[in-house]
Structure formats: C-alpha cells, structure tokens
Structure 1
Amino acid sequence: MRKLSIGDLPDGGTPATLAAIGEGWGPVQRGGISRYDTPGHRTHPESDHHVHDVPEIFTIVQGAGALELNGVAGTRFAAGDILIIEPGENHHLISDGDVPLVFTWMHLSRPTD
C-alpha cells in the first residue's frame, strides 16, 4: 500500500497521472464513486477477505477514516489522500469522520504486451 496526497501529483491528478501511479499496469479498467454516511462503516461487508489481482486506487474526496490492510487497521486517511492498494492486499476502508465518507475507486487493468 502506498499513500499520497493530491498535492503530491504534479498536475493535480489528471487521468494520465492517476494511471501513472500504477506504472507497469494497464489503464483504468473500471471504477466509481461511493458514499458512506455512517461512522464506523466498513467497506466490502460481503466478505472479511477482499483482494484484487490488479492495483486499486482510492481518492478520498470527503471525510476521514482508517485503512484496514491485511487485518490490521491503522493507516489514517482524510480528504485529499490517495491510497494505492497493491494486488493481493486484503483491504477495507473504515469511516470515522464527522461528515460522510466519499471516495472514488479505480481498478487498473492487467498490462498488455
């Protein structure tokens, strides 16, 4: 897992820059935006084990919380943070801010030869 802030991006976070964060992988395969209103909400409630075989990039738009990574909650995040989850990392976002947690998520695609 890597954590950046939007301020770390040289051009403010264009799609090209966001794809470059996952250098060596293909372009964004799919993505979306999510909102969780309740403090303590844990993403991916359908399973205690949530992994991908490609990187996933979260951009925190509003709110705050902690990242649970491989069963350990600890990495704090807040609006303006970018979390890059590596393939195989079991991950969940847990909201705990005073306002709803809003974030974008993107799965990169497998590299093309």
Structure 2
Amino acid sequence: MIKLRLTDLLDKKSGHILQDVLPGAYLSSGGLSFAKRGERSHTNDGPEGRDYHVHGDCEAFIILQGSGTMELNGEHIPVATGDILIVEPGEDHHLNSSSEDPIVTVWCHAGPSPHKNQQKGDAQ
C-alpha cells in the first residue's frame, strides 16, 4: 500500500488527479462512501463468505472526513482526513471507520478506458 497526503499530489491540468500514483489513463469506476460508526468494509464478501477482499488492479481511497484504520493483510494502519491510500493488487484490505469520527471516502479504480458513461458514442 502507498499512503500519501492530498498535499503530495502534483498539480494536474489534464488526465486524472491520481495519475502519478494510480495506474491507468482514466478513472474507470468508483464512488463516495459514508461509513457507519465503527463499520468495517468488505466484511465476509470473499469466496464462500470468507473475510478476504482483493483486486487484480490498484484501488485508491481518499479520506475526505473522519478517521480510522486501513486493515491491510491483517495490519491496522491509522488513516485520517486528507490521506490517500493506494491499495495494490492482491492486498487484502478493509477500511475501519472510527466510532467517534466516522469516515467519508472517495474510492476509485483506473484503467485504459473511460467509465462507460464517458465513452464516445454514449452521448444522448
């Protein structure tokens, strides 16, 4: 896992803002997540309900608000507002929200093609 701060990002005028740390020409999927107090992401969603969550590509988390830990291969790494986490392929990861200061995150993946809503020929 790579851990950065928002202030570590280089100014970008084109491409995506994470292009120096998240492989892929386009942000291709993602969302905004409001964790419940004390919530742990991806619990029991691995094969056969096992507590295991990995990807074949990198995933970025930007902590917009709150604090907690990123559980990475069983190790708990503290995270807080302004942190950027790049989880690398094959790393088992779970975001644990604080009970006192719940986490709000943007998460995303990047790839060689734009999101389906942004591809040519999809304009209505």
Q: TM-score range by the shorter chain?
A: 0.7 to 0.9
1:54–1:110 Cα contact (<8 Å) kept:
no
Aligned residues: 107
Deviation by residue 1:54-95 (Cα, 9 ceiling, x = unmatched)? 10000000000111111222x111000000000110000101
Deviation at 1:29, TM superposition (A): 1.5
Scaled by the length of structure 2, the TM-score of the pair is 0.76
Distance in 1, Cα, partners of 2:95 & 2:84: 12
Question: Which 5+ residue runs of structure 1 have no aligned equivalent?
Answer: none
Deviation at 1:110, TM superposition (A): 5.6
Deviation by residue 1:22-61 (Cα, 9 ceiling, x = unmatched)? 24x34222000000131x2100123211000010000000
Deviation at 1:17, TM superposition (A): 2.8
Letter in 1 for 2:101: V
Name whichever structure is richer in strand by fraction: 1
Scaled by the length of structure 1, the TM-score of the pair is 0.83
| Cα RMSD for the two superposed structures | 2.1
Deviation at 1:107, TM superposition (A): 1.2
Letter in 2 for 1:45: T
Residue in 1 that maps onto 2:42: 44
One of 82, 92, 96 as aligned partner of 1:80: 82
SS of 2:32 mapped into structure 1: strand
Letter in 2 for 1:28: L
Residue in 1 that maps onto 2:32: 33
Distance in 2, Cα, partners of 1:41 & 1:15: 33
Distance in 2, Cα, partners of 1:54 & 1:105: 13
Question: Which 5+ residue runs of structure 2 have no aligned equivalent?
Answer: 46-50, 114-124
Deviation at 1:2, TM superposition (A): 0.4
Residue in 1 that maps onto 2:66: 63
Structure 1 stretches of 4+ moved >3 Å: none
1:43–1:92 Cα contact (<8 Å) kept:
yes
